[in-house]
């Protein structure tokens, strides 16, 4: 729901720029550039800042794929970043991966000789 409100606000700002610069001031080139800039700033802000915050704090939806050949073990939040643990049976390692805002600074922890799926 919060995500829809965010995009509604971005669309309203874009339409406002088109209205003010296009209809009122009759400068359609400036209006289109302003609307495009508002869209790009809104998209960048969502992808690099707001997406995980919306999911964690306000209940949103986010999809992450488990890499081919690995088994999912668990997931946890640390601050506003999501940590996912997967097991790779080929290399017998457990891997914690951080999904940070915009996937820029992804942390990674590898535990060697980890076999959580081993039956006693």
Which positions of the chain have pLDDT values less than 50?
none
pLDDT of residue 105: 62
CA 97/CA 63 separation, integer angstroms: 15
Q: Say what the pLDDT of residue 104 is.
A: 63
pLDDT tens, position by position, 62-96: 778 888 999 999 999 888 788 899 999 888 899 98
Structural domain boundaries in the chain: 2-58, 71-112
Kindly give the residue spans of alpha helices, DSSP state H, lying in 18-106. 28-45, 51-58
**Residues ≥6 apart with Cβ < 8 Å to 6:** 42, 46, 50, 54
pLDDT at position 13, please?
96
Sorted by sequence, the CB contacts under 8 Å of residue 111 that are 6+ apart come out as: 93, 94, 95, 96
Confidence at residue 120, expressed as pLDDT on a 0 to 100 scale: 55
pLDDT reported for residue 103: 63
pLDDT value of position 102: 64
């Amino acid at each position: 729901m919060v995500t829809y409100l965010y995009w509604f606000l971005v669309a309203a700002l874009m339409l406002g720029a088109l209205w003010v610069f296009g209809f009122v001031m009759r400068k359609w080139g400036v209006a289109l550039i302003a609307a495009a800039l508002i869209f790009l700033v809104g998209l960048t802000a969502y992808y690099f800042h707001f997406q995980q915050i919306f999911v964690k704090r306000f209940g949103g939806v986010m999809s992450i794929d488990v890499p081919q050949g690995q088994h999912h073990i668990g997931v946890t939040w640390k601050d506003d970043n999501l940590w996912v643990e997967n097991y790779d049976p080929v290399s017998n390692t457990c891997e914690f991966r951080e999904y940070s805002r915009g996937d820029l600074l992804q942390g990674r922890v590898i535990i060697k000789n980890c076999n959580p799926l081993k039956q006693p």
